[in-house]
Amino acid sequence: MIGLEYALIFMANGAMFPFFNLYLTKNLGWTGTRIGSLAALCSLLVMLTQPLWGRLSDASSKSKVLALALGGSSCLTILQPMVAGTSLAVFVTLRLCHAVFAGSIASMFDGIALDILGADRNTYGRYRLWGSLGFALAALIFGKVYEALGFTSMFFVYAVIIGGACCVVLRFDANPDVDEPERKSMQLGPVLANPALLVLLGGIFLVMTPTAAGENFLSIYLDAIGGSTGLTGYAFATMALAEVPIFLIAPWVIDRFGYKPVLVASTALFGLKLVMNALFPIPWLVILLQAMAGIGFALFQVSAVLMVDALVPLQFRSTGQAVLATVSWSLAGISGSLIFGRLLDTAGILAAFRIGGYVGLLGALFIQLFVPSGEKQQPSVEIEA
């Protein structure tokens, strides 16, 4: 059931994320600056609400809170194409509301999965790989579907799949064994009380600012260098498929090398990939580079999730994952989207990817130099709010 839920959540993402910016440019005629501004606003709202979702999830029924987020996301998605051609303000408002509900889905389910796995949490990657398979399948199939039916159909595809995920998650009962008073008194302070966690989050932010923006603008990059809509789907599918075997062997990799070396290696791959995108703007080469990014993402996801989980108190598990997602995708997404959007309109997409690659490599160096190497700390259950 854990694998099925990951598959549905990321299948929905794969049906929309790779193609949404193409919808904005081709259907609505948006510029890079406007696209970047919308992405930044969405990331800002996710950043502000993600810790709240995490705290609400930790303090109540995790499955019901996640079902609420999934149901709200599905309903808001259906409404967006109905107003896109008539009212820009309403469309943007719906998109921003959608971000509030959808932005915390993956991190909340990470918390549920870690609760269920318990002492076997190092096997997390073996369940998360089903999300990559779902994403790859959706990107491969729906890239061709949208070429035939148009990008508007992706909103309805997403809504149906995410609705299915809502039904499945209600079958879970994964709250950890924590006293009721502890649930009601949860604060964000204990999560951020560990200096090692703060340094780790700083390094992740530096790496993920260009990385998140690079994936967000990949469809526009491919369009600029002559790639087709179908190639966009293949590129994202290749990345997701490359993640699958890495997720499978992740427990062995973590046991062999430890959290920090794996994290440094994965983030270095992110920066290198962006630099090579800029130096070699060849459509077919993008497929190979996306495979490299997929390897990096699987290693990053497992090492970052488990490293954060080891650095926060057990009863704040979902909150810790929400903070990680806030920094790595929301906060980094705001800065990356604004910078890449502006660079796209002023210096060009290749310059944006080249500069982003340099920043990503600098972030990997920061993690190597400043993040403490004591990777396998156990979470302290005794820390009080």
Domain membership of residue 286 as a residue range: 2-370
pLDDT value for 191: 67
Answer yes or no: is 186 within a domain.
yes
Indicate if the alpha-carbon torsion angle 83, 88, 89, 92 is positive or negative.
positive
Using an 8 Å Cβ cutoff, are 220 and 31 in contact? no
- CATH code of the domain in which 10 resides: 1.20.1250.20
Secondary structure of the chain in the HEC alphabet?
Answer: CHHHHHHHHHHHHHHHHHHHHHHHHHHCCCCHHHHHHHHHHHHHHHHHHHHHHHHHHHHCCHHHHHHHHHHHHHHHHHHHHHHCCCCHHHHHHHHHHHHHHHCCHHHHHHHHHHHHHHHHHHHHHHHHHHHHHHHHHHHHHHHHHHHHHCCCHHHHHHHHHHHHHHHHHCCCCCCCCCCHHHHHCCCCHHHHCCHHHHHHHHHHHHHHHHHHHHHHCHHHHHHHCCCCHHHHHHHHHHHHHHHHHHHHHHHHHHHHHCHHHHHHHHHHHHHHHHHHHHHCCCHHHHHHHHHHHHHHHHHHHHHHHHHHHHHCCHHHHHHHHHHHHHHHHHHHHHHHHHHHHHHHHHCCHHHHHHHHHHHHHHHHHHHHHHCCCCCCCCCCCCCCC
pLDDT value for 173: 66
Answer yes or no: is 350 within a domain.
yes
Indicate if the alpha-carbon torsion angle 75, 78, 81, 83 is positive or negative.
negative
pLDDT value for 95: 93
How many domains, the chain? 1
pLDDT value for 174: 53
Phi, psi of 367 (to 5 degrees): -65, -40
List the one residue out of 53, 54, 66 whose CA is nearest residue 171: 66
pLDDT value for 344: 85
Q: How confident is the model over 175-202, as pLDDT tens digits?
A: 555 444 444 444 566 667 788 889 999 9
Answer yes or no: is 190 within a domain.
yes
Answer yes or no: is 377 within a domain.
no
Q: Which distant-in-sequence residues (6+ apart) come within 8 Å of 136 by Cβ?
A: 14, 236, 237, 238, 239, 240, 241, 244
Answer yes or no: is 185 within a domain.
yes
Q: Which amino acid is at 243?
A: E
Answer yes or no: is 376 within a domain.
no
pLDDT value for 190: 64
Answer yes or no: is 379 within a domain.
no
* Residues lower than pLDDT 50 in the chain: 178-186, 375-385
Q: pTM of whole model > 0.75?
A: no
Look at phi and psi of residue 29 and say left if phi exceeds 0, alpha if psi is from -120 to 50, else beta.
Answer: left
Answer yes or no: is 375 within a domain.
no
pLDDT value for 357: 95
